[in-house]
Structure formats: C-alpha cells, structure tokens
Amino acid sequence: MINLPHDLMAQAIERRDLPLDALAARVGDELDTLARLSAEVQRALSMCHFAEHTDIEAIRGLQGIDRITQALEDLGRLMAAVSTEMPQDVKLHAVPLLSRLRLHELVNNLDPEQARHTAPVEEEVGDIQWF
C-alpha cells in the first residue's frame, strides 16, 4: 500500500465517484472486521485475572464489549444485505465522504478501487505497546 500525504490522497480521490453498492459492501466488511477485533478483546480480557473484589459496575462495563461485538456483527450483516439491494448505477462523490475519515487504513478499506487491508488474526510474538 502506498502512503500518500492526506492532501495528495484527497486529490487522488477527488476526481471520481464511488459506487454506493460497493461502498456499502465495504462498510459491511469493515464492521465485520471490527466485530472480530472486539471478540478478540473480549477473549483477551476473559484471560486476565481481576482482583477478588471487582466492582459490579466495572463488570457490567466489561460486559458491554459483548453488546458491541453483537451490534457490529449485526450491522455488518445488514450492510452486506443492503449493498445487494442497492441499484448499481448510484454514485457518490468520493471527497465529501472519504475526506471525513481520519484513519488512512479505513479510507483505503472503504474505497472499492483499493485492495482491503485486513488486520492479522494473531500478532506474532513481540513487544506490546500500551497507549
């Protein structure tokens, strides 16, 4: 993947339109990817050892991850279905849509003319950097 500065990337997508059905399918794919990442976070947290007396509100908050995962899965399926029901001749201008996104990888993944970049399922052994 070529990393262009944001202004050059905007110029590259400025002069073209995005097919709405393909964009919707890409959004569905991205939601599915986020659901898998959320499930991985949930599994990782389940392997952590918490204090003997974990606050009930903290536990409820952690259970919210399951709700997020399920909602992302449902939204991914919905967008995939919506994309198959859309007329193929509907186009949207690329710049007003994709220029609102901050993550370059997300812009690339949502652009039907670009190859999708998927996060590896399991990272190789190495140092973990906490934010």
Residue 115 lies in a domain: no
Alpha-carbon gap, residue 71 to 69, rounded angstroms: 6
Residue 60 lies in a domain: yes
State if pTM tops 0.75. no
Domain range holding 73? 26-110
Confidence of residue 116 (pLDDT cuts 50, 70, 90): confident
Alpha-carbon gap, residue 108 to 33, rounded angstroms: 14
Residue 127 lies in a domain: no
| Residues forming a β-bridge with 92 | 18
pLDDT tens track for 22-76: 999 999 999 999 999 999 998 888 788 776 777 888 878 888 999 999 999 999 9
Count of structural domains within the chain: 1
Cα 101-77-75 angle, rounded to 5 deg: 50
